[in-house]
Amino acid sequence: MPLTVKWADGVAVEYSDTKVIFDPQVSSSNYPNVFITHAHYDHAKGFHFPDQVKFSTKETYDLVKAIKGKRIHNWNPVQYGRKVKIGDLEIKPHNAGHVLGSAQYEVISPEGNLVYTGDLNFIDTLTMKAAEVCPCDILVIDATFGYPGFVFPSKERISMEIVQWAINSIKRQKVPAFQTDSLENAQELIRIFNDLTTLPVVTHRRITQINKVYESMAMY
């Protein structure tokens, strides 16, 4: 029987009688095993499904718990480089380089291997080590910035412009403030100011909770 991959309100992979789904958007009894790539809400909805068995890194689990403040049932931890056997398939997580705990999942079957990843980053950031290429027969990947026209300035240039703007604001006796998502960009911004300045940083309570998870993993 061939390895099958399809969209089923999530990326579903089937082989023989084994079915798994990655980053599902809705709960389905057809897929009892759910793998979650990272803690951003559009990928982490599966944590809130009551009946399915959930798999993610501990970092992703801790971040979702910090964001939602609720217990998560039927959860199993995975670690980079260690396989999890589900029926006839083996699932091996690898660092995705996106946010703390983010994973790309290698699905290993007798018919070859498939890699599914949500957001993926191959460049070191201030808070994350870059992902490494995971060779595969089939690649399924998010393409948020897949169009070649998306070219961004270097992180060094952006960092200096942010710091300079903040300093200029203070000189004008104004308090510089940033509105950003609470997971990922917030931590990068804070790291910029911690590394390049002695300015005190005050954060929203939700961001503070997420920062504590980063700190507990010695990543921040």
Cβ 114 vs Cβ 140: under 8 Å: yes
The strand pairing partners of 91, in sequence order, are: 84, 107
> 158 is written with which tokens?
């952006």
Q: What does pTM read for this prediction?
A: 0.92
- The three-point CA angle 123-125-127 to 5° equals 140
Checking if the pLDDT of 172 tops 70, the result is: yes
Checking if the pLDDT of 220 tops 60, the result is: no
**219: confidence class by pLDDT, cuts 50, 70, 90:** low
Q: Note the pLDDT tens digit of each residue in 9-32.
A: 999 999 999 999 999 999 999 999
Q: What is the mean pLDDT of the chain?
A: 94
| H and E: helices and strands count for the chain | 5, 11
Give the chain's domains with CATH numbers: 4-141 (3.60.15.10), 155-216 (no CATH)
Mean pLDDT, residues 178-201 taken together: 96
Q: Note the pLDDT tens digit of each residue in 138-168.
A: 999 987 777 788 888 999 999 999 999 999 9
Q: Note the pLDDT tens digit of each residue in 71-100.
A: 889 999 999 999 999 999 999 999 999 999
CB atoms inside a 10 Å sphere around CB 140: 18
Percent of the chain whose pLDDT exceeds 90: 88
> 125 is written with which tokens?
């950031």
